[in-house]
Structure 1
Amino acid sequence: MSRLSSSCLVALGFLFLFSIIPIRDAPAQAANDIADVQAASHAFYEALASESIGDAMAGVWAHKPYVTNVGPRSKSVVVGWDAVSQYWIETEKKVASVNMAIEAPHLHVIGDFAWEIGEEIGEVTMQDGTVRQAELLATNVFERIDGQWLMVSHHASRKPEQ
């Protein structure tokens, strides 16, 4: 068999193979990923509003040594699941309730990573009954681990005074 004939047979084989294997629809997949990340973000804010913040956060965060958190009361970057978990347990002791949402987030997904940036708006009621209005700038980073989108980084800080 000539080299040209062999090349043609290989090309025809690939054409046949690609005609019977469904090709993943990239735009549809991206839309599904965006919806799944939005659901993960919503779960984070539901956990923040939970009466048991520490327990609720355990379900939305990756339990990895590389996760990070910077909250409005942070003095440094909190690194690792054990430390991040402790941060949320301490938060639960200080607040009576949290009602926050991320407004108009800018969300982007690349492969198994996603991030959203926006303004967290809401209010926090402290254990002493003091109510604080909150307007924060926030960045949330998610990683898809075993098919589930989990938070791997959260940064929320006060907006600069105008």
Structure 2
Amino acid sequence: MHPSTLARVKSGEAEGRPSTEEPTFDEQTLLRELEKAINDEDYNRAAKLRDDLRVLHDDSNASVISANARFYHAFRNGDLAEMQSIWAKGDHVYVVHPGASRISGYELVIDSWEIVCGVDHEFPIQIDLKDVEVHVRGDVGYVTCMEVVKTRGGNWGKQTATNVFEKIDEKWFICIHHASHIND
């Protein structure tokens, strides 16, 4: 057998001892390492890197879904303090409430949620999410969905929504919420 066709195993790994290498969690680094392992025909390492990428992807999707759930929890309950804590800080954040123009910057976005949360809706309101999809690319993720919103005093109807999240210091924060009415 030609030496380059043999699978390579790092010292100690074959005996079940863990590698002393630092784990790599960055998606781009994992992809580079995977390509290198394939080129080097280090198929055991390539398989592990492939599995690490899958776990990272699944964990990122779950984390963005969790951040999206925190956003809707704050919205359902009219919880302004929670709403303040889940938004990224900065001028790059914005919100588009149904039928309204874009509101930019953390302070103005939170002011808009203060108005929404302060309206006489008898919180909690009911928000059912339909057709939820999540996509993550590196430190940015987004969720698309349809919101079916009902209050005790009325019905806001259906909105299509896009929520964009960014990862800051290993935590996901919403940076864009855009909701538009859907006419039935």
TM-score normalised to the size of structure 2?
0.69
> Match of 2:81?
55
Structure 1 residues without counterparts, runs of 5 or longer: 1-14
Runs ≥4 residues deviating over 3 A: none
Which structure has more RCO (C-alpha within 8 Å, separation ≥ 6)?
1
Select the residue among 46, 67, 81 that pairs with 1:40: 67
Structure-2 separation of matches of 1:23 and 1:65: 32
Question: How far apart are residue 137 of structure 1 and its match?
Answer: 0.4
The superposition leaves residues 44-90 of structure 1 with CA deviations (integer Å, 9 ceiling, x where unpaired) of: 00000124x3222112111221101001142x100000000000001
Structure-1 separation of matches of 2:177 and 2:71: 10
Structure-2 separation of matches of 1:70 and 1:140: 10
- Matched-pair identity in %: 26
Structure-1 separation of matches of 2:106 and 2:64: 20
RMSD: 2.0
Structure 2 residues without counterparts, runs of 5 or longer: 1-8, 14-18, 26-51
1:103 maps onto 2:130 in alignment:
yes
State the SS of the aligned residue for 1:142: strand
Select the residue among 66, 81, 96 that pairs with 2:92: 66
State the SS of the aligned residue for 2:59: helix
Name the aligned partner's letter for residue 86 of structure 2.
V
State the SS of the aligned residue for 1:91: helix
Structure-1 separation of matches of 2:162 and 2:61: 16
State the SS of the aligned residue for 2:92: coil
Structure-2 separation of matches of 1:61 and 1:133: 23
Alignment coverage as a number of residue pairs: 140
TM-score normalised to the size of structure 1?
0.78
